[in-house]
Amino acid sequence: MLDNELLFILLRKGGKGLQKNKSEKYHKILTSAGDVFARFGFYKATISQIASRAGVADGTLYLYFKNKDDILYQFINYKTGVVFEKMNTAVASGKNAEEKLRNLIHCHLQEFQNDKNMAVIFQSEVRYLRDIQSQIKDISKMYLDLLSEIIEQGQIEGSMRQDLFVGLVKRFILGAVEGVISTWVSADGRYDLVAMADPLVDLYLNGVKGE
């Protein structure tokens, strides 16, 4: 038998009220899923835990998602969409390549620090799930494309070396940022992640070799 909430939604399906209800409840479920995935891990997390956290019946989740995998997939889609919009805005506000790079790294670390659940899921869970590996590759490609544009602009401006192998440099930068976030997650977020942004960029631009 359908629970009262599920029956109510099905009866109103297609109406304007449902659209508002869906928007609010959909995002509440995603947020709740983030809490549950970060706390218990994807494999141990259950639909019941997510539903309980969201304050809805188990069956209600299936109005918006196919299964637990779909919840994670849509969680990643939503979060990356929000973050990349902010990253693009941050990069566009830079006056030159160096400023754009600083803005990008600062924004990247700030967003993950602001949403620790997202950081935990991306660093500790997502990369080990084969079903969404293609999605992660797409996300990485978008980020690497941003870095390519910045590096190429820096070379044109003369602020970055002309002999740089762009493919290697951009992967080095992405790997270093991910490493810093992973360490922060392992430390349970006990220090200011954003404070690492400028030292990271200084390392990229100046290297470790003394004069």
Q: Which residue has the higher pLDDT, 202 or 12?
A: 202
Could you write out the DSSP letters of every residue in 133-182? Answer: HHHHHHHHHHHHHHHHHHHHHHHHHTSS-TT--HHHHHHHHHHHHHHHHH
Structure confidence at residue 208 (pLDDT): 73
- Of the pLDDT bands very low, low, confident and very high (cuts 50, 70, 90), residue 47 is very high
CB 200 within 8 A of CB 106: no
Structure confidence at residue 164 (pLDDT): 87
Rounded CA separation 111/95 (Å): 22
Rounded CA separation 108/111 (Å): 5
* % of the chain exceeding 70 in pLDDT: 82
Query: 3-state DSSP: the chain helix, strand, coil percent, rounded to 5?
Result: 75, 0, 25
Nearest in space to 198 (alpha carbons), one of 104, 122, 123, 116:
104
* % of the chain exceeding 90 in pLDDT: 65
Cα distances (Å, whole numbers) of residue 109 to 61, 67, 199: 31, 30, 12
Query: Per-domain residue ranges for the chain?
Result: 4-61, 69-206
Q: Which residue has the higher pLDDT, 192 or 209?
A: 192
Give yes or no for residue 14 having a pLDDT over 90. Answer: no
Could you write out the DSSP letters of every residue in 5-22? Answer: HHHHHHHTTTSHHHHHHH
- Of the pLDDT bands very low, low, confident and very high (cuts 50, 70, 90), residue 196 is very high
CB 50 within 8 A of CB 33: yes
Structure confidence at residue 2 (pLDDT): 39
Arch. (CATH architecture) of 69-206:
Orthogonal Bundle (1.10)
Mean of pLDDT over the chain:
85
Give yes or no for residue 12 having a pLDDT over 60. Answer: no
How many distinct helices (H) and strands (E) make up the chain? Answer: 10, 0
Fold for 4-61, please state it.
Answer: Arc Repressor Mutant, subunit A (1.10.10)
Q: Which residue has the higher pLDDT, 172 or 6?
A: 172
Q: What sign has the CA pseudo-torsion 98, 100, 102, 105?
A: negative
pTM, entire model: 0.83
Least confident of 10-19, 137-146, 151-160: 10-19
Q: What is the pLDDT of residues 137-153, one digit of tens each?
A: 677 888 999 999 999 99
Task: For residue 194, give every residue at least 6 positions away whose Cβ sits within 8 Å of its Cβ, in sequence order, or none.
Answer: 106, 109, 110, 113
CB 104 within 8 A of CB 150: yes
Least confident of 32-41, 111-120, 202-211: 202-211
